[in-house]
Structure 1
Amino acid sequence: MWLWMKSMLVPLINLYLCGVKVLIYQLFNRSFTLPVLPKQNGRVAIVTGGTRGMGFETARHLARLGMHVVIAGNEREEGTAAVRKIHEEGSEGKAEFVFLDLTSLVSVRQFVQTFKDRGLPLHVLVNNAGTMLVPEKQTEDGFEFHFGLNYLGHFLLTNLLLDLLKRSGRHSCCSRIVNMSSATHYAGVLAMDDLNRRICYSSHGAYSQSKLALVLFSYYLQEQLTAGGFPVTVNAVDPGMVDTALYNNLWSLAQALKKPVAKILFRTPAEGASTTIYAAAACEMEGVGGCYLYNGQKTRSSELSYNSEAQAKLWKKSCELVGL
């Protein structure tokens, strides 16, 4: 009974407490307003999950600034529609869709190889795609679904593109990696001996863990890049509570309560994407890495996320899992 409470009830309570805190903040604080951003002509970006929601708003805005944006996703029809909409708006940049299934390590490797074969540079990588509170299932490689999609797929993608990001950046104009985390990472616990959550599954715990992993990954990678003197920055972003399809998997009571609350307190996808766009393109973020950004401000993340031993252990284990 105690084991069930610890593994199921505690993560659920902690996640919803995080949500309540965010909603209280959003009740009394306006959404971050983007400053005027410099043109990004000649720069290339990849945005995962860019076919809808915050990913689409990010891709759309970067294209408006003149970037060549590659929208990476697993829904071809949505991808085609997203590209069409961006082009119809008369963006200065270019948008295109390329298939990528982050739940498949083979697909990640194929995507990277295809991109590299084109000879394009890469200046911005936005690891935006994600899923939340799905019932227990695994990726095709046998990983817990949240951990595999939200974190491991992005971990492999980033590492395979890292050499290109390093070559494309300059010390006066760094390449940028932006990882989409969440306030739920504060409730996250890193179960190093059970990252796949097979002992006792909790969708709430699994989601929180995947978002914590992204913050740990961001900090550790930034340390490595800084130590090597490479012109690449890495930051984690918290978009707040945003009215997107991510919440479709809430349990029924929470789903019913969410609808009226969302109209008043949730951010729109465009508002939710503002901090991501800021991290990807703002002059103020030039050369600035290793930050957790919330509502356009540098914010302190969870105490565990700063644990260098946990960062190193997760990095080593992740390399083993994805075959690096």
Structure 2
Amino acid sequence: LPKQKGRVAIVTGGTRGMGFETARHLASLGMHVIIAGNEPEEGAAAVSRINEECYEGKAEFVFVDLTSLKSVRHFVQKFRDRSLPLHVLINNAGTMLVPETWTEDGFEFHFCLNYLSHFLLTNMLLDLLKTSGREGRCSRIINMASATHYAGEINLEDLNKRVVYSSHGAYCQSKLALVLFTYYLQEQLAAGGFSVTVNAVDPGMVDTALYDNLWTLAQMMKKPVAGILFRTPAEGASISVYAAAASEMEGVGGCYLYNGQKTQSSDLSYDSELQTKLWKKSCELVGL
């Protein structure tokens, strides 16, 4: 991959697992990486480890709680106050199969953390991404998707799953929402002639803490087969790093990447009317 000296990246959920490996790899290419997360001690350890290993770039930790829209806004303001450019935004943080839980803003937990907060974060940083990108050197947004989006459904009248709750259904919905968001945003960026691309990345099954909420039997079954069936965090991160830095991805947006290859996402994800309705609804929910 080409060196990324002088470029600035934000990686949400970069204190451990796939996010950490993504941040580490980008820093090794010369990037200044902002790790955005809600665990200061983990963040300090991650930054220390990366900065000890990487001589080209550097990493730092900045707190954000993605279950709080107020915290997202505070994070963005802190970043803006530093007058830094922004060349890469990797919306990596996520949660999976948590019991029915509501955020302080009244949103279903998966929907808020996996999708809605990243929707707000991206939109509030979009002007910086636009001014930082240029022709032949676009800024890049990467949304961390999942194959579970193929089973996802969107009910715009019940995005918080209050009628019938299923943690699996809520997770699938949040990942489908990210893919719909990816395609709609890319269309708007292309129409405006901006040097910014956005892609969705499916890292496959990765052995991370994301699976900690599986029921006990599944956890017992997972441990002996994880090394065979699951990718390591570094292997999973390689796809998002490829999307963020590869020359082949310059100027390429609106893709669903699996194994670094452009792949068809679900039929529903290409529904332009649904993309538009979800965008407008999301703007209402976050106050944009």
TM-score with structure 2 length normalisation? 0.99
Asked if the contact 2:149–2:176 (Cα under 8 Å) also holds between the matched residues in 1, the reply is yes
Pairing 1:51–2:26 present: no
Q: Deviation per CA, 1:77-121, whole angstroms, max 9, x where unpaired?
A: 000000000011133101000001111000000100110110000
Whole-Å separation in 2 of the counterparts to 1:321 and 1:234: 22
Asked if the contact 2:144–2:200 (Cα under 8 Å) also holds between the matched residues in 1, the reply is yes
Give the SS at the match of 1:256: helix
CA shift, 1:286, in A, is 0.1
Alignment counterpart, residue 88 of structure 1, candidates 52, 71, 84: 52
Whole-Å separation in 2 of the counterparts to 1:199 and 1:91: 52
Whole-Å separation in 1 of the counterparts to 2:106 and 2:55: 40
Whole-Å separation in 1 of the counterparts to 2:276 and 2:143: 18
Residue equivalent to 1:240:
204
Asked if the contact 1:65–1:91 (Cα under 8 Å) also holds between the matched residues in 2, the reply is no
TM alignment of 1:32-181, pairs within 5 A: 37-181=1-145
Q: Which amino acid aligns with 1:229?
A: G
Identity between Structure 1 and Structure 2 (%): 81
Alignment counterpart, residue 301 of structure 1, candidates 249, 255, 265: 265
Pairing 1:187–2:154 present: no
Alignment counterpart, residue 191 of structure 2, candidates 221, 227, 234: 227
Give the SS at the match of 1:91: coil
Q: Deviation per CA, 1:265-295, whole angstroms, max 9, x where unpaired?
A: 1000000011100000000000000000001
Residue equivalent to 1:279:
243
Q: Deviation per CA, 1:44-81, whole angstroms, max 9, x where unpaired?
A: 00000000000000000000000000000000000000
CA shift, 1:162, in A, is 0.1
Give the SS at the match of 2:143: strand
CA shift, 1:186, in A, is 0.4
CA RMSD in angstroms, aligned pairs only: 0.6
Pairing 1:312–2:287 present: no
CA shift, 1:42, in A, is 0.4
Unaligned stretches of 5+ in structure 2? none
Q: Which amino acid aligns with 1:228?
A: G
Give the SS at the match of 2:85: coil
CA shift, 1:229, in A, is 0.3
Q: Which has the larger radius of gyration?
A: 1
CA shift, 1:258, in A, is 1.3
Unaligned stretches of 5+ in structure 1? 1-36
Q: Deviation per CA, 1:13-45, whole angstroms, max 9, x where unpaired?
A: xxxxxxxxxxxxxxxxxxxxxxxx000000000
Count, aligned residues: 288
TM alignment of 1:18-29, pairs within 5 A: none
Whole-Å separation in 2 of the counterparts to 1:277 and 1:265: 22
Whole-Å separation in 2 of the counterparts to 1:91 and 1:252: 42
Whole-Å separation in 1 of the counterparts to 2:50 and 2:64: 20
Asked if the contact 2:64–2:75 (Cα under 8 Å) also holds between the matched residues in 1, the reply is yes
Give the SS at the match of 1:246: helix
